[in-house]
Structure 1
């Protein structure tokens, strides 16, 4: 139930109409009232990435909230949902159709943005599964069973594609001042913001490759520095106004997940102790804006709601490591904090975020902290924390006090890197999809708790998504060769480490 869902349905109607009208029967003529082609803008809108709304399963995985249903025991399994998909190849075929439509309609901008979308499609598959078909991926009937390229080669190729997309888009903007594109649900057609998004996304991916930063062929540090040191060629987000995000509303297909039409959510979505305890440890003012005090705390101090709300001890999260029965008991006693009713219990909630200014600034701060670039790590750390807090609604005076406090200000060294990554975890709460997981997977920050009640058979999170099961029958030789090359065994195990995260 997202904005883009209805656009994609409309796209399919047009596509099938176009296919029907192009049947090559001699006795039939084309129907002038039926479309015979799809405009590139419609294909572009259909290819636009979805975003996750707040309080969905993507955020349960990272222990921002958990589901505590009072009418049934619900075991959390942090190991579920790691079956991979090659759906990205369907997107790549649609990108090719968009490119053809762009050429037919003399609209090269869609081909340029198609290069960004294509790079992203490959990246989002490889960062989940490992080696994937790349060089032969779109060969069709000529190569029905493509080889799996090594993950390193996929990244080199896609990072080059992202660089080309930025440069080509920059040239297009320079030659077409004021030009806007149709089909843009994020930026209303503003091309400069798309160029910023491409570069912010590239920084996201480069930081995700921190364990491969010394690989000379991949050139993570050089690519990162080239973007940061050349702002005229590689513009970046300047504030949260540049976020790629969608705002929800009270209309079918445009509602956020957590809303008054699904009353069970109000009782069952409880903040996790993992997230709330970190906010409390940092004395973080975002706590008061995202959560409500426990009902138990309010009842203990009647007539003093303002005081209770301003007390960090009034907020308690559900422990994801204990039995569901124990959490249900505490939930019924009113001892857990729920999402802030005024902020979230409506049809708008908070925007769904694809990529944010604060993530970009955390990426730059981390690169500076690691010595990849000569930028001021503290400045970008401050920008990131401030951007996140402004987005949640914290006032600037409170933000400035927070950033000057010794317990939450930027510091150097290993402790400082941990603090930076913990702050990034806090900023990713209920937004940005799987990015919090990817950061945890490569860094081990934060130190997430696990137990026999929440992980299934094995401890901890998986390290990768498995390949689609169909590959064992559709492309067995290349599939098994990829497993052997990566893991030394013909096993598609989700606990095996892929190249990008190996020490």
Structure 2
């Protein structure tokens, strides 16, 4: 009797197991794969990341204001640095929940499929996201980030360690990327051209080497020496700029999308005045003519204006950003040839290379003009001006001011470089709330205090108060 019961129980267990397996198979949707294909994932994650980088919260409503390239003509609170701990959630939440998670999956699939190029591209783009995050916030989750099954509450790594970790990841990416290996698909930055990804990888390594140069010149030079020893190439023309080219609605540039329904932003008086002073041919590209006829044609709004002060200047008497930037198809630039040349000029000026800093500086300005199809004698005339000529005794001023102009529209990068080089020297409006200071970091999202409280407290204890005015590790002076 006992044996009969065991047989019955065994039969029922087997039947249940078989039914469960059949039910599991029935519940699988053959049209919805459980594992995303790397090409679709690469397209979607890249687009989401670039939209966040180029969009309202992290670009138009913060970093472009801090760098005094744009200003607000309506609802000017952000231009007066009135923010809360919910103001800077977009870069953090999208960066971790979507960008890093997505690129991690692409890296995993590259390994699983034996395709090193998916892995390499995933590493490069993930490194760029981590760079955006640490440049903005400082200490961030890095070593435990994106590993939700292992670390529900990831620790914050010190900014120095994040930079060093990214450099290591990019070196690994460079080794993985191989134009002769398996092809990839879904790449909306370089159209699946692995040789271009290798150049972009080196450009990012150079960018980070200079980011840390004032705090660890030895490490910075080591990175640049490695780049030279490897014999790898850099971005070598505007055709190789790392950028996402947008399309018509609903795939339009986030700037264009914002201006379809809002009218909050104008070009900053700071950069308009600078472009006028230098008789810079990029002014008509960067700024639109005022709607009403005005003596200057191009009129910037002073950063930090009150709502009433901005209103007194008027919507029709101030300049929107240029039509180039308002076009639905305008590209979101991640890394330009001009930036690469400025970086090489600075590396030479610091003695990290034996290249000619002045010559590279001039090439960088020419590359910036060419980016907007400006050529001819106007470029020569511009470069020959005393105010533009390279000053080897103060290379940070020469490179810093011209790089700031060239990075117009790239708010996060322009702001990072202005903090690092301390040029141009910007002045905060008396209307701002930071006692004459300009923000030097984003404050952490308030959700970190409730969801990752102890690690948040540890980061604040290590880095300094969670304030807009707490300088980050890379910002030495």
* TM-score over 0.5 (shorter chain): yes
* CA RMSD after TM alignment: 3.1
| SS, match of residue 245 in structure 1 | strand
| SS, match of residue 109 in structure 1 | helix
Deviations 1:242-291 (A, max 9, x none): 111233333322245337972753xx543221011111122211123433
Aligned ranges for residues 233-252 of structure 1 at < 5 Å?
233-252=231-250
Q: Give, in angstroms, the shift of residue 193 of structure 1.
A: 0.8
Q: Look up the match of 1:185.
A: 188
Aligned ranges for residues 395-410 of structure 1 at < 5 Å?
395-410=375-390
Q: Is the 8 A contact 1:196 1:236 kept in 2?
A: yes
Deviations 1:218-262 (A, max 9, x none): x112212432x35x7321111111111233333322245337972
Q: Does 1:354 align with 2:334?
A: yes
Name the stretch that deviates more: 39-48 or 237-246.
Answer: 39-48
Partner residue of 1:468 out of 437, 445, 450: 445
| SS, match of residue 184 in structure 1 | coil
Q: Look up the match of 1:417.
A: 396
| SS, match of residue 270 in structure 1 | strand
Name the stretch that deviates more: 93-102 or 378-387.
Answer: 93-102
Q: Which has the higher helix share?
A: 2
CA distance in 1, matches of 2:309, 2:383: 37
Deviations 1:134-158 (A, max 9, x none): 3344554544444333322222222
Q: Look up the match of 1:317.
A: 300
Partner residue of 1:197 out of 182, 195, 200: 200
CA distance in 2, matches of 1:366, 1:433: 21
Q: Look up the match of 1:496.
A: 470
Q: Is the 8 A contact 1:86 1:125 kept in 2?
A: no
Q: Is the 8 A contact 1:82 1:494 kept in 2?
A: no
Q: Look up the match of 2:3.
A: none
CA distance in 1, matches of 2:148, 2:55: 36
Q: Give, in angstroms, the shift of residue 293 of structure 1.
A: 4.8
CA distance in 2, matches of 1:96, 1:294: 46
Q: Look up the match of 2:275.
A: 279
Q: Is the 8 A contact 2:100 2:129 kept in 1?
A: yes
> TM-score, normalising length from structure 2?
0.83
| SS, match of residue 249 in structure 1 | coil
Q: Is the 8 A contact 1:79 1:460 kept in 2?
A: no
Q: Is the 8 A contact 1:289 1:393 kept in 2?
A: no
Aligned ranges for residues 104-253 of structure 1 at < 5 Å?
104-137=112-145, 140-169=148-177, 172-173=178-179, 175-176=180-181, 180-214=183-217, 216=218, 219-227=219-227, 229-230=228-229, 233-253=231-251
CA distance in 1, matches of 2:416, 2:362: 22
Aligned ranges for residues 68-107 of structure 1 at < 5 Å?
68-69=73-74, 76-78=79-81, 80=83, 81-82=87-88, 85=92, 87-90=94-97, 91-107=99-115
Q: Is the 8 A contact 1:359 1:424 kept in 2?
A: yes
Q: Give, in angstroms, the shift of residue 104 of structure 1.
A: 4.1
CA distance in 1, matches of 2:158, 2:328: 44
Q: Give, in angstroms, the shift of residue 53 of structure 1.
A: 6.2
Q: Look up the match of 2:366.
A: 386
The 1:319/1:193 distance shift into structure 2, 3 A limit, reads same
CA distance in 2, matches of 1:151, 1:75: 26
Question: Which ranges in structure 2 are unaligned for 5 or more consecutive residues?
Answer: 1-18
Partner residue of 1:62 out of 60, 67, 87: 67
| Number of residue pairs aligned between Structure 1 and Structure 2 | 445
| SS, match of residue 76 in structure 1 | helix
Q: Look up the match of 1:5.
A: none
| SS, match of residue 354 in structure 1 | strand
CA distance in 1, matches of 2:78, 2:442: 21
CA distance in 2, matches of 1:344, 1:36: 39
The 1:92/1:82 distance shift into structure 2, 3 A limit, reads closer
> TM-score, normalising length from structure 1?
0.79
CA distance in 1, matches of 2:188, 2:366: 26
Q: Give, in angstroms, the shift of residue 409 of structure 1.
A: 2.2
Q: Look up the match of 2:459.
A: 482
Question: Which ranges in structure 1 are unaligned for 5 or more consecutive residues?
Answer: 1-22, 301-312
